[in-house]
Structure formats: C-alpha cells, structure tokens
Amino acid sequence: MRLNQAGGTGGSAPGAGTADYVVPDDELGDIGHAAYGLFNGLESAGKHANTASRTAGTSLKGEGFDLGAAFTEVNRTWETQVKTLLQACAHISNHLNYTKKSSKADDDWIEAQLRIIGPVAPGADASVPASQINKYFH
C-alpha cells in the first residue's frame, strides 16, 4: 500500500481533485431516517405472531408432539433475531445522527478558528496562510 503518492504500482488512488470518502449530510440523514423507520415498523411487525406462536408451541408440546418443542425453539430464535435487528437499526440511526452533528460541530469549530486567526490588513485578501491551514489536517 502506498500513501501520499500518485501513480506507482499497487493499490488505487482517487482521481485528482476527488475525495476517497464523501457522504453528504443529507444522505446520512436519509440513511438514519430509513433505519429509524425500519426500527419502528419492525418493533410491532416482528412480534405480531409471538403470542400465538408461543401458545401453539406450548399446546403441541403439551399434547406430546415433538413439533411443539421445535416450534417453541424456532419462535425463541425468531425473537432473538428481531431483537438483534432492532438493536442494529437503533445503533445505525443513533450513530448517523451523532456523526452528522459531530461533523457539523467540527466544521463550525474550524470555521471559527480560521476567522479568529487575526485581523486582516486593509487591502489584504484575507487568505489564511498555509501554515495555519495545515494544522487542521491530521
């Protein structure tokens, strides 16, 4: 793998002037909103047959059918999978909301820092020296 180098062999580099990873804030919001919507829909839809399935499994098991125990186990597994998916949706939604807010806060902080570097002399172009800008890139 090669870093900070154009051309060369091995690996790939983004084209000139392009970023290698960019996700616009509105797309983050859309993905987070979709995860939130899935969470809300799955909360009830994933559990709607739980009571009936548990009752059927218990009844079949009580009547001596091996199918009852198997059905109860399948229902337990389904409940676990639904809970896992709900947690994943909540995590995605919360993380993307945090990322969006954090990115905005970082941008605001950098903007404020660049504004307070110092007064600009009359007639100057108000550009920030490269030595000052460089400290914002880690």
Query: Percent of the chain beyond pLDDT 90?
Result: 22
Token pair listed for 71:
């059905």
What distance in Å separates the CA atoms of residue 60 and residue 64, rounded to the nearest whole number?
7
Quick one: the chain helix, strand, coil %, rounded to 5?
65, 0, 35
For residue 36, is pLDDT > 80? yes
pLDDT 10s digits, 82-110: 999 999 888 888 887 777 777 777 777 77
What distance in Å separates the CA atoms of residue 51 and residue 47, rounded to the nearest whole number?
8
Average of pLDDT values for 21-50? 80
**pTM strictly above 0.75:** no
What pLDDT, on a 0 to 100 scale, did the predictor assign at position 59? Answer: 94
Contact indicator for 56, 75 with CB cutoff of 8 Å:
no
For residue 75, is pLDDT > 60? yes
Helices 66-115 and 50-62, interaxial angle, to 10°? 150
